[in-house]
Amino acid sequence: MKALRVEKKRIAVRDIELPEAGQEALVRVLLSGICNTDIEITRGYAGFNGTIGHEFVGIVEDAPNGQLVGQRVVGEINAGCGDCELCRAGDPRHCPTRTVLGIVGRDGAHAEFLRLPLINLLPVPDRIADEHAVFAEPLAAACGIIERTPVNRDKNVAVIGDGKLGLLCAQVMALTGAPVLLIGKHPEKLRIAERRGIETATAKNAGLRKREFDLVVEASGSASAFSTAVGILRPRGVLVLKSTFHGTTEIDAATIVVDEISIIGSRCGRLAPALDLLKRGAIDVDSLISEEYPLRDGLIAMERASRKGVLKVFLRP
Amino acid sequence: MKALRVEKKRIAVRDIELPEAGQEALVRVLLSGICNTDIEITRGYAGFNGTIGHEFVGIVEDAPNGQLVGQRVVGEINAGCGDCELCRAGDPRHCPTRTVLGIVGRDGAHAEFLRLPLINLLPVPDRIADEHAVFAEPLAAACGIIERTPVNRDKNVAVIGDGKLGLLCAQVMALTGAPVLLIGKHPEKLRIAERRGIETATAKNAGLRKREFDLVVEASGSASAFSTAVGILRPRGVLVLKSTFHGTTEIDAATIVVDEISIIGSRCGRLAPALDLLKRGAIDVDSLISEEYPLRDGLIAMERASRKGVLKVFLRP
């Protein structure tokens, strides 16, 4: 089968052996989405070698006892050991020996087929189109913010980054009733948020609103976002970091101490609440779709996805 | 009067005019303590010019309507505008126009006399010796951790730094019932904690206890402490930053996101709970006292306080 693979930072579409289900489920991928993390992996992030991709919708082709076979599914990307305290409590996201689809020790979704444990799969309601279902994983990541810090109408929220993750985060934050400001660079992307009633600003203009925000979500992956965020946070405000990117960031620790800021890392959310939002049509994902390529043109698609101004790029096997 | 002053990073004991009470209280300083922040100010931290020092015990000599005159007092160091929302709620620590004793826009405590608003002063119970009362401010800073994140017997706590702040933090953490590990370099300082039943380790040995701690308190002011802390924190663990130092720190933001760590800044606490602990003899501060100098020898005292192995140095006007 065809798969988009990174090996020693070199990326190529290769023909590899079709995986077998074994004790897991074999999923035929209908559509996969390119995430910035895929691009960071080609730069060395996570040190991953293998098939990249972790956003997908597909059909279960094979599984132990035929479970879910024929069903359309999306999947949680963290596959735990099943045996540690965290896994037994039903949340493998921090299992110390987990694999992560297309990121850590497990081939990913930019391929004709993928494997995941049955427990990771969620059936997709019929009314959700493939092109929407494939957003379940990044939308879950946006919803994950609420797991890490309370958000409600009394919080003044800013989201930095008008890319696909930022646009999802801004929409999820706005659903809590909180007033939300999306800070970005691209008028046409900011307009997507504006159509949902979300206020927008450039970083320069937002920077004038010093100490105004209770919560700032960093979803731009830009090193300069950190100082923008600290400048507009009120004392004892909360900065949520959503972007995973390769390399280090310089911070002024004294400001964090003096203003008693909290910096909270947030990675994966759960897929069930995200599917629910998609079913209800509560999130505009259509506006986030830029382009679609056949899997064999994976390299072109990755190049396009890394261009400024391009939002979600799909691969269709 | 004599005062230990920093002007353009140059430090000297100078003769300056005696301040007048005006609308505030005039306090005759009995004893002041040198904090690492004083040393950081001589390196450019906070850009402060004036009399340094913010840990003191003294006698009120003059005040509007004679209030508190003759009383022995310690003082909250943040003097608010009295008029903003925060000040009206009784907590000027984040008043945007605050001055801070010996740190921001207000002459400090390494002097024969200082001024503070009456509302900042707390009478010291007779049974607390001057040499203990002068610890009220740094002990309050240690207690401030509990304001910022819950600590209890179910949390596995590590404190990095066996200096005076680290030793106070470790003792306060241990009073919550939490098992506490103090990580430091100096056997004789670690022994102070051991005598209170606190486990100790070097950074190298502590580093082997990967992902074991729910809460790590950084009180060393060392840039390398950040990576030590991140290494021993469990996923979703909390890192409290207590040290204010001049300069930037490099962090690996991806680790914060992937392990969903929280980094929480903590600055000043309130003095009342600290005085209460001192009154109950719940904290060993005697072991933290290294040396005492007359105020006129302030330069020697500062030099001594910045030496490795030296803990609290007092100045007596």
B245 and A259: CB-CB below 8 Å?
no
A246 and B256: CB-CB below 8 Å?
no
Q: Is A70 on the interface with B (CB under 8 A)?
A: no
Tell me: the pLDDT tens digits for B265-309?
999 999 999 999 999 999 999 999 999 999 999 999 999 999 988
Tell me: the pLDDT tens digits for A21-77?
999 999 999 999 999 999 999 998 889 999 999 999 999 999 999 999 999 999 999
Q: Is the pLDDT of residue B245 over 90?
A: no
A241 and B257: CB-CB below 8 Å?
yes
pLDDT band at A9 (very low <50, low <70, confident <90, very high): confident
B2-135+285-316, what's its fold?
Answer: Quinone Oxidoreductase; Chain A, domain 1 (3.90.180)
**Who has greater pLDDT, B250 or B145?**
B145
Q: State the sign of the Cα–Cα–Cα–Cα dihedral A20, A25, A26, A31.
A: negative
> d(Cα A134, Cα A283) in Å, to the nearest integer?
13
Chain B residues close to A244, C-beta within 8 Å: 253-254, 257-258
Interface test with A, best of B258, B259, B266, B270 (most A CBs within 10 A): B258
Average pLDDT across chain A, whole number = 95
Chain A residues close to B244, C-beta within 8 Å: 253-254, 257-258
A267 and B253: CB-CB below 8 Å?
no
pLDDT band at A6 (very low <50, low <70, confident <90, very high): very high
Q: Is B254 on the interface with A (CB under 8 A)?
A: yes
Chain A residues close to B94, C-beta within 8 Å: 235-236, 259-260
Cα A120–A124–A126 angle (5° rounding)? Answer: 165
Interface test with B, best of A256, A259, A268 (most B CBs within 10 A): A256
- Whole-structure pTM value: 0.94
Q: What pLDDT, on a 0 to 100 scale, did the predictor assign at position A246?
A: 65
Q: What pLDDT, on a 0 to 100 scale, did the predictor assign at position B30?
A: 98
The residue ranges of every structural domain in chain A are 2-135+285-316, 141-265
Burial class (CB in 10 A: 0-12, 13-18, 19+), B20: exposed
Chain A residues close to B141, C-beta within 8 Å: none
Residues 145-174 of B with CB under 8 A from A: 148
Q: Is A245 on the interface with B (CB under 8 A)?
A: yes
Q: What pLDDT, on a 0 to 100 scale, did the predictor assign at position A10?
A: 94
A236 vs B45, B94, B246: nearest CB = B94
A244 vs B45, B248, B258: nearest CB = B258
Beta bridge partners of residue B183, listed in sequence order: B160, B201
A7 CA: distance to closest CA in chain B (Å): 21
Q: Which residue has the tokens 């002097």?
A: B111
Q: Is A89 on the interface with B (CB under 8 A)?
A: no
> In terms of Cα–Cα distance, which of A154, A206, A201 is closest to A176?
A154
A245 and B262: CB-CB below 8 Å?
no
CB of B116 closer than 8 Å to CB of B67:
no
- Strand, coil or helix: what is B32? strand
User: What is the arithmetic mean of pLDDT over B195-203?
Assistant: 96
Q: Is B89 on the interface with A (CB under 8 A)?
A: no
Q: What pLDDT, on a 0 to 100 scale, did the predictor assign at position B199?
A: 98
In chain A, % of residues over pLDDT 70: 99
A80 CA: distance to closest CA in chain B (Å): 14
User: What is the arithmetic mean of pLDDT over B235-261?
Assistant: 87
Tell me: the pLDDT tens digits for A247-256?
778 888 888 9
Q: Is B296 on the interface with A (CB under 8 A)?
A: no
Name the residue type at position B90. Answer: G
CB of B178 closer than 8 Å to CB of B158:
no
Chain B residues close to A257, C-beta within 8 Å: 241-244, 265-267
Tell me: the pLDDT tens digits for A193-239?
999 999 999 999 998 999 999 999 999 988 788 889 999 999 999 99
Query: Rounded to whole angstroms, what are the CA distances from A284 to A132, A256, A289, B53, B138?
Result: 9, 35, 10, 56, 51
pLDDT band at B74 (very low <50, low <70, confident <90, very high): very high
Q: What pLDDT, on a 0 to 100 scale, did the predictor assign at position B246?
A: 65
A259 and B252: CB-CB below 8 Å?
no
Chain A residues close to B261, C-beta within 8 Å: 265
Q: Is the pLDDT of residue B208 over 70?
A: yes
Which CATH number does B141-265 carry? 3.40.50.720
User: How many Cβ atoms are within 10 Å of A185's Cβ, its own excluded?
Assistant: 16
Q: Is B47 on the interface with A (CB under 8 A)?
A: no
**Who has greater pLDDT, B35 or B243?**
B35
B1 CA: distance to closest CA in chain A (Å): 31
B262 and A264: CB-CB below 8 Å?
yes
**Who has greater pLDDT, B253 or B173?**
B173
Q: Is the pLDDT of residue B193 over 80?
A: yes
Q: Is the pLDDT of residue B153 over 80?
A: yes
CB of A241 closer than 8 Å to CB of B257:
yes
Q: Is the pLDDT of residue B244 over 80?
A: no
Beta strands in B47-167 (DSSP E): 50-51, 55-62, 72-75, 78-79, 99-100, 113-116, 121-123, 157-160
Alpha helices in B18-59 (DSSP H): 36-42
